Amino acid sequence: MRNSLTAPSYYQATANRKISFPPLEGDLETDVAVVGAGYTGLSAALELAEAGYRVAVLEASHVGGGASGRNGGQICTGFSPGQARITAQLGASDARKCFDIAEEAKRLIELRIEKYKIETGLQWGYLHCAAKPSHLEGLRAGADELSGLGYVGCSMLSKAELEERLGSKLYHGAMREARAGHFHPLNYCLGLANAARKAGAAIYEDTRVLEIDTGSKPCVRTNKGKVTAKFLILAGNAYLGKTVSRLYGRVMPVTSFIVTTEPLGDNMARSLIRDNEAGADSNFILDYFRRTEDNRLLFGGAANYSTLEPSDIGAFMKRRMVKVFPQLKDVGISHTWGGYIAITSNRLPDCGALSPTTFYAHGYSGQGVALAGMYGKLMAEAIRGTSERFDLLSRIRHLPFPGGPIRTPMLVAAMLFYRLRDALS
């Protein structure tokens, strides 16, 4: 296991709820077995438990131990590559329905925060910053696309207007969105787990699923027991690896790294991001940043497709951060960590059914904080007999990544291409 994937995060240090669950020991029969306790799995578990199903969630590490407890905390609008790819495949009317589902994903977060009283420090507002003058056109097109879909609250900021809000001279302007934002992702994940537990779902940590059977009586085997169910939900995302061979080639794990500074104080934090928006640049391999509730800067990026990581990730990320915010050059780094993002070949999430009893969703391609919970909810809907929306999203086609020895080198080469494009565009 690579260092950054297990390094303790700022989120673990500031989690507002300490809950733990026992490992599964022995055999169990239930209605729905869920593999993975991130947003996808917990959201499905919560919906199903509330609807009266017996649910068992099996988690290899701990709740939020995958991407859901270690991400940038940015709640984004729509799908990672925008609408055009969906429209090209499904047509304008169905693509519009997909966008509506993505909008509902953000409202679902708000609703659950309120209903289950989850403290996350949720803030709305997002700055998409132009890394190159030529990127402004793309940002404007993105704003027009959103406005065309009835989304209210996009505005373009000139370089001077951006510099009033953001303590950086690096960018050439920005697109500001009112209905995207940020929060403490692990606290949200723990809140979902707590709500699912209260609704009757059984959660097992330290319980890695080693084998699955997707037949008419699906079954999962762990090292200490087995669960037989009527339905199975696979929500292991990038961390599932080769456990399910039919899903292995459908996503690729990409590492992203994050650092937080020491607390900066109210004034310094405000001088960095005046209105406490989330921010990201417009590069393909993007940097993202935001303030934390205790006035640190959280800075992430540097997606990495190879199996190697920099020897000193903290120093590596600090150099990137100081390029954006040179005033932080003497500020200490408090936490450094990373996690796996699952990407698909077309950067659209991948979901479907491996059999009439087994559903999966993964590959949110860096934009799953909102979407993953919604895909989990839609799998629960499908199990409850209303699969229209899940079927719609399942119709999005993906080219699988190649397997075998060329898998990683091919992705590394693709990454080099995009790095070069970011540098030259």
Ligand X SMILES: Cc1cc2nc3c(=O)[nH]c(=O)nc-3n(C[C@H](O)[C@H](O)[C@H](O)COP(=O)(O)OP(=O)(O)OC[C@H]3O[C@@H](n4cnc5c(N)ncnc54)[C@H](O)[C@@H]3O)c2cc1C
DSSP state of 23: P
The smaller minimum CB distance to ligand X, of residues 82 and 368, is found at 368
Q: How far is CA 184 from CA 57, 123, 281, in A?
A: 23, 10, 21
Q: Report, in this order, helix, strand and coil percent for the chain, each rounded to 5.
A: 40, 25, 35
> For residues 40 and 372, what is the distance between their CA atoms, to the nearest angstrom?
5
Rg (CA), the chain: 21
The smaller minimum CB distance to ligand X, of residues 300 and 352, is found at 300
Q: Which two tokens stand for residue 348?
A: 């659209």
The smaller minimum CB distance to ligand X, of residues 158 and 336, is found at 336
The smaller minimum CB distance to ligand X, of residues 116 and 248, is found at 248
> For residues 220 and 228, what is the distance between their CA atoms, to the nearest angstrom?
7
Distance in Å, CB of 80 to ligand X, minimum: 8
Secondary structure element (H or E) that encloses residue 138, with its range = helix 135-148
| List of residues contacting ligand X (CB under 6 A) | 35-41, 58-61, 65-68, 70-74, 76, 208-209, 235-240, 243, 256, 258, 288, 300, 338-341, 362, 364, 366-369, 372
Count of H-run helices and E-run strands, the chain: 14, 19
Distance in Å, CB of 171 to ligand X, minimum: 18
The smaller minimum CB distance to ligand X, of residues 173 and 253, is found at 253
> For residues 145 and 159, what is the distance between their CA atoms, to the nearest angstrom?
22
Q: Which two tokens stand for residue 14?
A: 């500031």
Strand residue runs (E) in 229-269: 231-234, 252-261
Distance in Å, CB of 422 to ligand X, minimum: 18
Distance in Å, CB of 212 to ligand X, minimum: 9
Q: Which two tokens stand for residue 243?
A: 């456990």
Secondary structure element (H or E) that encloses residue 220, with its range = strand 219-222
- Helices in 262-345 by DSSP H: which ranges? 266-272, 313-324
Cβ pair 262, 332 in contact under 8 A: yes
The smaller minimum CB distance to ligand X, of residues 72 and 125, is found at 72
The smaller minimum CB distance to ligand X, of residues 166 and 235, is found at 235
Distance in Å, CB of 163 to ligand X, minimum: 24
The smaller minimum CB distance to ligand X, of residues 174 and 205, is found at 205
Instruction: Return the closest-CA partner of residue 185 out of 359, 38, 33, 390.
Output: 38
Distance in Å, CB of 160 to ligand X, minimum: 27
Instruction: Return the closest-CA partner of residue 254 out of 283, 285, 281, 280.
Output: 285
Cβ pair 299, 331 in contact under 8 A: no
The smaller minimum CB distance to ligand X, of residues 166 and 238, is found at 238
Cβ pair 302, 418 in contact under 8 A: no
Nearest residue relative to ligand X (C-beta): 368
Torsion, Cα 392 183 276 71, to 10 degrees, reads: -80
Distance in Å, CB of 424 to ligand X, minimum: 26
Distance in Å, CB of 190 to ligand X, minimum: 12
The smaller minimum CB distance to ligand X, of residues 137 and 219, is found at 219
Distance in Å, CB of 305 to ligand X, minimum: 13
Distance in Å, CB of 70 to ligand X, minimum: 5
Secondary structure element (H or E) that encloses residue 212, with its range = strand 209-213
